Amino acid sequence: MGEARTRITLLNKENIMQKTETIWHNGMLKPWDEMTTHALTHTLHYGGGAFEGIRFYKTDKGPAIFRLKEHTNRWIYSSEVLGMELDYNYQELFDAQVKVVKENNLESGYIRPLTYYGYKELGVAAKGNPVEVLIANWPWGKYLPHDMVDIKVSKYKRISPETTVIDAKICGHYVGGILSAVELDGTHYHEALFLDHDENIAEGGGENFFIVKDKVIHTPSLGHILPGITRATIIEIAKFYGYKVVEEKITLEQALNADEAFFTGTAVEVTPIKSINDQNIGTGNLGEVTAFIKETYDDVVHGRNKDFMKYLTYV
């Protein structure tokens, strides 16, 4: 129990939200402490919002936002899935995110763009409710502050693509992640792993999943998972450096018999997995392929890898 409480304390210390000067809201920069919304805001009650999580990193050329183009496009797409009519085009939203980073004068951190239905009528249908847009950022450390993580298959399943638009990043999709966090609270596990409704591995509570077997990298195929932007980056990096990557259905048995496993995502970046359900993956130590992917990704986002400079937007 003590170890579990230490895990939670460490996680919270790493990710305490440190407020910045301003938040961009509906085209205006507002002081952090004055950013409010109505208690009857539609999305607060029904989860119909769209968001992104984006990191920016300290580099030799100043702060650099990673894959801002792709994140902005997905943000717009997810908003449109919910029927939102945005008052801002792609370029305006792109520029606003850059502006927030500049205005808050941070060398590195996290950006949270959000579109949500505001206050007017309270009912499941959001027709007629105004669409609110905000962009905040703040300093942020590691999401899972461990060299390797122990994970557990959750009793909850990944939301089915038959019940939602699975490739949209919608606020309500993350209720399963909240439930899995409650499930693991007080245990020694660091994160949950979701299966899909066919009992194949889908993803983590907020991460995509990879395994390595005989130096070949495998990851769950699209259709039951969020097609993560970091996931796509890792696939591209791996192929660029000569690794074979297979996108396929992955069973729990396959994962338990893998040589290595790791999570990817904006928040977790590349996080090696030590064990699943208390069974070590491979030797239980950092594997060669995972170590290479992790180090290479770190070089890419910090502007040290010249082959992938296209993914950086310098501020």
Residue 7 lies inside a defined structural domain of this protein: no
* Claim to verify: residue 119 and residue 46 sit in the same structural domain: yes
Residue 219's pLDDT is 98
What does 56-109 look like in DSSP terms, one character per residue? EE--TTS-EEETHHHHHHHHHHHHHHTT---SS-HHHHHHHHHHHHHHHT-SSE
Q: What pLDDT is attached to residue 14?
A: 52
Residues of the chain scoring pLDDT < 70: 1-16
* 216 and 285 fall within a common domain: yes
Does residue 199 belong to any structural domain of this protein?
yes
Residue at which a domain ends, from 138, 159, 178 = 138
Q: In this structure, are 134 and 156 located in the same domain?
A: no
- Tell me the residue range of the domain where 194 lies: 149-301
Evaluate whether residue 10 is within a structural domain: no
Same domain, residue pair 90 and 209: no
CB burial of residue 119 (10 Å; 0-12, 13-18, 19+): middle
Q: Is residue 191 part of a domain?
A: yes
**Within-domain flag for 99:** yes
Q: List, for residues 211-267, the tens digit of each pLDDT value.
A: 999 999 999 999 999 999 999 999 999 999 999 999 999 999 999 999 999 999 999
Position 142 scores a pLDDT of 85
pTM here is 0.93
Please give the positions annotated as active site. Answer: 169
Looking at the 3D structure of the chain, how many domains does it have? 2
Return the number of other C-beta atoms located less than 10 Å from residue 301's C-beta.
Answer: 25
Angle made by CA atoms 14, 18, 19, in degrees to the nearest 5 = 160
228 is a domain residue: yes
Look at residue 309 and tell me if it is in a domain. Answer: no
Predicted local confidence at residue 16, as pLDDT: 67
Same domain, 79 and 168: no
42 & 177 share domain: no
On whether residue 168 sits in a domain, the answer given is yes
Q: What is the pLDDT of residue 9?
A: 37
Please compute, for residue 197, the number of CA atoms within 13 A of its CA located in the half-sphere on the CB side: 7
